[in-house]
Amino acid sequence: MVRIGMTGHSNLTDDTAELVAVELREILKEQRDDLVGVTCLARGADQVFARVVLELGGTLEVVLPAADYRERKVKPDNAAEFDSLIANASVHTMPFAESNRDAYMAASEHVLSIVDKVVAVWDGGPSGGHGGTADVVDAARERGLGVTVVWPEHAARL
């Protein structure tokens, strides 16, 4: 079994989400027989990754940052997608009552502690706050995990 963690931007354009999905399929198809995708299931890159993992027949594990994550952070226009993905996953919720930057980083650190490598949908820029994509990439590299960065040509964030 190969456990692959995900970190990435939550504010991808629709066109970028499609470009990312194409690249993720190429990266993950080699692992399709024993793929376990591990993600915090945030909107954007995390959910694109989760869909591709399931599409390829992999197993999905979700690490929620806090008990209130669904209620507080999942917007109405993304609720059906979130619920559909989480219904097909095993779920671990971090011991935080409220979703905040510390909870996000703790969840990402937990993901890093249980995976073999990481895929980062990342434009290479700095984090917009503690626990952002750049912080998780740095933490993964500090742990010695291999990080595959995905940022297709013409990719953009909202």
Please check whether residue 118 lies inside any domain of the structure. Answer: yes
pLDDT digits (tens, 9 = 90+) for 104-121: 999 999 999 999 999 999
**Is the residue at 45 inside a domain?**
yes
Among 79, 75, 1, 10, CA closest to 49: 10
Block residue for tokens 């969840």:
107
Residue 144 has pLDDT above 80, yes or no: yes
Residue 133 has pLDDT above 90, yes or no: yes
Look up the domain containing 16 and give its range.
2-130+140-150
In a domain, 65, yes or no: yes
- For tokens 């912080």, what's the residue? 135
CATH of residue 59: 3.40.50.450
Buried b (16+ CB within 10 A) or exposed e, 73-82: bbeeeeeeeb
**Cα–Cα distance, 87 to 83 (Å, whole number):** 6
Residue 30 — pLDDT band, cuts 50, 70, 90?
A: confident
**Is the predicted pLDDT of residue 32 greater than 90, yes or no?**
no
Q: Is residue 157 part of a domain?
A: no
- Residue 76: inside a domain, yes or no? yes
Confidence band, pLDDT 50/70/90 cuts, at residue 96: very high
14-39 mean pLDDT? 94
How confident is the model over 71-93, as pLDDT tens digits? 999 999 999 999 999 999 999 99
84 located within any domain: yes
The average confidence (pLDDT) of the chain is 96
- Number of domains forming the structure of the chain: 1
Q: Where are the beta strands (DSSP E) in the chain?
A: 2-8, 35-39, 59-64, 89-93, 117-121, 146-150
Termini Cα distance of the chain? 35
**What's the pTM?**
0.96
Give the ranges where 31-68 is alpha helix by DSSP (H): 45-55
Over 90: is that where the pLDDT of 131 sits? Answer: no
Q: What is the reported pLDDT for 129?
A: 80
Is residue 13 a part of any domain in this protein? yes
Residue 135 lies in a domain: no
> What pLDDT was estimated at residue 141?
98
For the segment 7-28, the average pLDDT, to the nearest whole number, is 97
